[in-house]
Amino acid sequence: MVAAVPDEVLKQVIARIPVQRLGTAQEVARVVRFPCEDDAGYIIGAVFAVNGGIEM
């Protein structure tokens, strides 16, 4: 998704993220998968921010 973003712009974005890195596809996939699992059976609605803390 960020392949077309110039390196300097990407560095500026990463500098604003508290964990100081971009998320991985696996991290996003875990959040997408969780509501489908039995352990999430009591959750009826939620917003999961998968953003490394950039929006809190």
The residue-averaged pLDDT of 11-28 equals: 95
Per-domain boundaries in the chain:
1-56
Which 8-state DSSP code applies to residue 7? H
pLDDT for res 44: 86
Q: Using the Cα atoms of residue 45, residue 41, residue 34 and residue 54 in order, give the sign of their dihedral.
A: positive
The whole-number pLDDT of residue 4 equals 93
Of 22, 32, 7, the residue nearest 52 (C-alpha)? 22
- Supply the pLDDT for residue 42: 93
Using one digit for the tens of pLDDT, what is the confidence trace for 44-53?
Answer: 888 899 999 9
Measured over the CA atoms of residue 12, residue 15, residue 22 and residue 49, the dihedral's sign is negative
Q: 35 pLDDT exceeds 80?
A: yes
Whole-prediction pTM: 0.72
